[in-house]
A and B are shown apart, each in its own frame.
Chain A
Amino acid sequence: EDQVTQSPEALRLQEGESSSLNCSYTVSGLRGLFWYRQDPGKGPEFLFTLYSAGEEKEKERLKATLTKKESFLHITAPKPEDSATYLCAVQPTMNYGGSQGNLIFGKGTKLSVKP
């Protein structure tokens, strides 16, 4: 069964304290891995897509990396405005039982950055 597990569930950081969020996945084949940011009361906002092991993407203080089993979202010198829930989702190459192109979402990591 295709599965996505994110850890930790919650992470508290001091402003400027760098850390990483983990997304481990089990799929028969990976079409793509997506990272989203979700603020309270809002819909998920797209951050990155990664397609193959070894690939890296960066945006401001965020850097996403991908291996064959997991992805990391590295946050360098975070600021309070980086506080949000970060969601990871994978798109398998095959969706069993239909649901063409469906993404399998993890439960998210809630990040809090204190000033």
Chain B
Amino acid sequence: NAGVTQTPKFRILKIGQSMTLQCAQDMNHNYMYWYRQDPGMGLKLIYYSVGAGITDKGEVPNGYNVSRSTTEDFPLRLELAAPSQTSVYFCATRQGLYSPLHFGNGTRLTVT
């Protein structure tokens, strides 16, 4: 039972490149979230999904896109990477709307 698996662990992008951060879960949770964590800041919500085929924007969605075709996977797409997207990205799931979040171990992204 792996929980929430994020790949890759580290990535360096050049300005203007694109990439997809992968998130997979084996807990059969409907709710999935993408957060970013910047030094000295609290976690900020980028996008979330309440089930397959349903996604919505969080606090800081600009520059990102998501899709949710299955319960298990919730990839985050970065188009035209910018230095402001340098951050650590965490995927999280929860069983119900008021349940605790379960986090993956993050992807550390640097854009130069």
Interface residues of A (CB under 8 A from B): 4, 31-32, 34, 41-46, 49, 87, 89, 91, 98-108
> 13 new A-B pairs (CB below 8 Å) besides A32-B98, A43-B92?
A4-B42, A41-B106, A43-B105, A49-B100, A99-B57, A99-B58, A100-B56, A101-B31, A101-B48, A102-B33, A102-B45, A103-B45, A105-B43
Give chain B's interface residue range (CB within 8 Å of chain A). Answer: 20 to 34
Bound-state CA distance A106–B41 (Å) is 8
Q: Is the CB of B103 within 8 A of A45?
A: yes
Is B90 part of the contact surface with A, judged by Cβ < 8 Å? yes
B42 → chain A closest CB, angstroms: 4
A45 → chain B closest CB, angstroms: 7
Bound-state CA distance A46–B105 (Å) is 13
Residues in A neighbouring B43, C-beta threshold 8 A = 44, 87, 89, 103, 105
Interface residues of B (CB under 8 A from A): 4, 31, 33, 40-45, 48, 50, 56-59, 90, 92, 94, 97-98, 100-106
Q: Is the CB of A34 within 8 A of B101?
A: yes
Q: Is the CB of A107 within 8 A of B41?
A: yes
